[in-house]
Structure 1
Amino acid sequence: MNDFVPTTAPERMAQEPEVSRKILRQVLGWLAENAADLPDDEQREIGRQAGIRSGLYAAEFPEADGGWSLPARIAVDLREEAAATGRQYGFRILSAHDGPSWILQDATPGQRERWLRPLIEGRWTRCLAMTEEQGGSDLRELRTTATRDGAGWVLTGRKFLITNAAHADLAIVLANAVAPGASGPTFFVFTTDTPGWKVVRRLPGMDHRYDQYEVELDAVRVGDEAVLGGAAQIGGATGMAGERLTHGRVCLAARAVGLGGWALGVARRHAARRTVGGVRLADKQYIREFLVRSDVKLTAARALVRQAAADLDRHRLAMREAAMAKLWATESACEVIDDAMQVLGGRGWLSEYGLEQAYREARLFRIVDGTSEVLKETIFHLPGGEGGS
């Protein structure tokens, strides 16, 4: 993997898309030869290490923080291409749910150096503890509290469906700050070896490769340095989350397009080879219906993803554009994979063809980083939609 350490300058990678694409294809080629037959968990880890060594991991984050300042419009294309391998190592190359969070862009300079840089460089992993069992991600139902106590804070509560909680070095926790003169939803950042951080249980689900956990915050004591963004951001988590989660939504949408594209490729190859009654499946009109409508859906999804990414590069909030991209891309990915399974018939149901596992993964995309229903509300209420007029 040392061969993947890039020799080009970060600004050249940012300005010339083919530089980063060339590096990605070198990495994917090496992984195809050396990791394709490994178990899923080993594929994910070797993909992550290849991403770190190649410089692609977290490349879209600012160069000042350890990234490459890669434009979002390039990063989404790379994420799509990596996901289109259909391999577990693909989505790990450019960082994933345990990598750096855009929420940390609102950190103070000292916090960025202390918390963000180790994540961008791949030395640490993190978890984002926002959701709770009763209220989900609805901040109006936030029960976890951070109570002012002397020179610091005491965090108490429970978090539910927290990805990577048992393995993270760093936790970003949403809590309702309670203090004289300043209160409201606030992000706190601290290492998971802080006393009182307790992983209660693992929550097995539809896709065993995604580790979800329930976490208890049992009087976790932190100082003022744990308040993300400093004192000025106490009570400011709602705006921070709304602005910063758009990046994650666009990245996930790009990944959904790539996974859907892989499934469509499986269906096309099968339809070209398979004959029924002496006629190729690809020559049957109802099979062409599956293939064509899938192609159209993915093409539209890709356009929405690229539009949202371009808006992010122009420093627009792009909340509505990101919501549209994630909604259409994730819903389409599930539909495309389902159609591909139908094209393959009984084979589509078998694990050896990979479509059933791809569907498990794509089905999760419609829930994480904003459910499809939440995204529809966002699209309706933000300017540009009928509800925003």
Structure 2
Amino acid sequence: MLDTSVDFVPTTDPARMLDDPAAARAILRQVLAYLDERAADLDPAAQLDLARRVGLRSGLYAAQFPVEYGGWDMTETLAAELREEAAATGTGYSRVILSSHEGPSRMLLSATPEQRERWLRPLVDGRLTRCLAMTEERGGSDLTRVASSATWSGGKWVLTGRKFLISNAAQADVAIVLVRAVGARVEGPTFFVFGTDTPGWRVVRALPGMDPLYTQYEVELDAIELPEDAVVGGPERVGGAAGVASEWLPFGRICLAARAVGLARWALNVARRHADQRVVFGVRLSEKQYIREFIVRSDIKVEASRALLRKAAAALDAGHLAVREAAMAKLCATEAACEVIDDAMQVLGGRGWLVEYGLERAYREARLLRIVDGTSEMLKETVFHMPPHTGERSY
């Protein structure tokens, strides 16, 4: 459960975000100024904790969720803009201001009213955190190869299997788990939601990676017994995980794309400043054609990524599924972020490799963004096979 105690008080009323996008922008500037003053000397874990608590107090955390569940009905277009702006600070902790993978899941908007009250509302107001357990060691995120199962027996579901590369699994209060339902009238990939204090949920081991703040986990589902109403969306959604995922994954992909654009923009500014100030053999680096090549091509990549991001966010705001648009935005933005940060490192030379300049931290995060919520290769398949217009959401 998150601690929301902090002395931050926004001078702009969060309720104004309902009608005025400028209010949200003003609040974000206040949040970033507050964190810039207070978070710099904290260790990375403490920075994340403070940024999350300030995000909650500011009203920005989960602001894109409906008012009836504690959000502010923020548009995806505005949320993407704010995520980009936060990431453009170059700080790792800025990723949790508007909530991250640990916060509420859009997938729960497909849940029953009872499930929304029980799980979504406390996730939106920060009383709980969650994890999404989809991937498996052999099948990856391929829904057709899910080996974990939910067997209908004796009026209850029994979940067994293992999940791999699950973010926040050891800290989460709520788990949303993908398994294959068997033994019922309808079978197939199905999402379940339940508390991680349910007997049978067991974190097997941590899976540390390039970034210590992005630790993944392996989880065992050891004969977890769940009632019929634990199926996300109710019993009629058994076997319907593919539809639920396609409806809500674009939102997560746009979030990641926005952060990637912000990271790339920050790295480009670092490179520009250094090139303007650094003198080599009596000439500023910015006067050398090959340095200008780094900067110009990076500038174009940032602008192109932002354009695709805005297009995808606008499509979601218009009620479209935006599967193709979100895939294109994430593919372009995350690939570009790695390339822009790498070029910035080259512009800085040996300094670019040093921790104090922040580029190595930004690169580690950007590199992960090319994998989570759909690898670049998977997104290319989506773009190839999806028509330009993907219809409207069902809700």
Common fold by TM > 0.5: yes
Amino acid at match of 2:252: G
1:279 alignment partner in structure 2: 283
Whether the 8 Å CA contact 1:14–1:68 is kept in 2: the answer is: yes
1:8 alignment partner in structure 2: 13
1:327-377 CA-to-partner distances (Å, cap 9, x unmatched) read 000000000000000000011111111111111110000000000000000
> Does residue 323 of structure 2 align to residue 319 of structure 1?
yes
1:272-297 CA-to-partner distances (Å, cap 9, x unmatched) read 11000010001111101101110110
Identity of aligned residues (%): 65
TM-score by length of 2: 0.95
Shift of residue 38, structure 1, vs aligned partner? 1.0
Amino acid at match of 1:236: G
> Does residue 299 of structure 2 align to residue 295 of structure 1?
yes
State the 4+ residue runs in structure 1 displaced beyond 3 angstroms.
5-10
Shift of residue 224, structure 1, vs aligned partner? 1.4
1:129 alignment partner in structure 2: 133
Cα distance in structure 2, aligned partners of 1:208 and 1:53: 26
Whether the 8 Å CA contact 2:8–2:54 is kept in 1: the answer is: no
> Does residue 117 of structure 2 align to residue 117 of structure 1?
no
Cα distance in structure 2, aligned partners of 1:266 and 1:135: 40
Whether the 8 Å CA contact 2:8–2:34 is kept in 1: the answer is: no
Shift of residue 15, structure 1, vs aligned partner? 3.1
1:241 to 229, 242, 245: 245
Shift of residue 89, structure 1, vs aligned partner? 2.1
1:91 alignment partner in structure 2: 95
For 1:105, what is the secondary structure of its paired residue?
A: helix
1:62 to 63, 66, 76: 66
Whether the 8 Å CA contact 2:12–2:26 is kept in 1: the answer is: no
Whether the 8 Å CA contact 1:98–1:125 is kept in 2: the answer is: yes
Residues paired across the two proteins, number: 384
Cα distance in structure 1, aligned partners of 2:297 and 2:195: 47
Change (3 A) 1:145 1:6: farther
1:46 alignment partner in structure 2: 50
Gaps of 5+ in 1: none
1:113-167 CA-to-partner distances (Å, cap 9, x unmatched) read 1000111101110000000000000112110000012221100000000000000
> Does residue 42 of structure 2 align to residue 28 of structure 1?
no
Whether the 8 Å CA contact 1:4–1:27 is kept in 2: the answer is: no
> Does residue 208 of structure 2 align to residue 208 of structure 1?
no
For 2:187, what is the secondary structure of its paired residue?
A: strand
For 2:373, what is the secondary structure of its paired residue?
A: coil
2:383 alignment partner in structure 1: 379
2:153 alignment partner in structure 1: 149
For 1:345, what is the secondary structure of its paired residue?
A: helix
1:341 to 335, 341, 345: 345
1:307 to 303, 306, 311: 311
Shift of residue 9, structure 1, vs aligned partner? 6.2
Amino acid at match of 1:4: V
Cα distance in structure 2, aligned partners of 1:110 and 1:7: 33
Cα distance in structure 1, aligned partners of 2:10 and 2:333: 32
Amino acid at match of 1:343: V
- The alignment's C-alpha RMSD in Å is 1.2
Cα distance in structure 1, aligned partners of 2:101 and 2:345: 27
1:289-344 CA-to-partner distances (Å, cap 9, x unmatched) read 10111011000101111111011111100000000000000000000000000000
Cα distance in structure 1, aligned partners of 2:50 and 2:7: 13
Q: Give the stretch that moved more between structures: 326-335 or 134-143.
A: 134-143
Cα distance in structure 2, aligned partners of 1:6 and 1:218: 49
Amino acid at match of 1:366: R
For 2:92, what is the secondary structure of its paired residue?
A: coil
Whether the 8 Å CA contact 1:6–1:55 is kept in 2: the answer is: no
Cα distance in structure 2, aligned partners of 1:179 and 1:69: 40
Amino acid at match of 1:222: L
2:3 alignment partner in structure 1: none
2:335 to 314, 323, 331: 331
Whether the 8 Å CA contact 2:257–2:334 is kept in 1: the answer is: yes
Whether the 8 Å CA contact 1:36–1:87 is kept in 2: the answer is: no
TM-score by length of 1: 0.97
> Does residue 104 of structure 2 align to residue 100 of structure 1?
yes
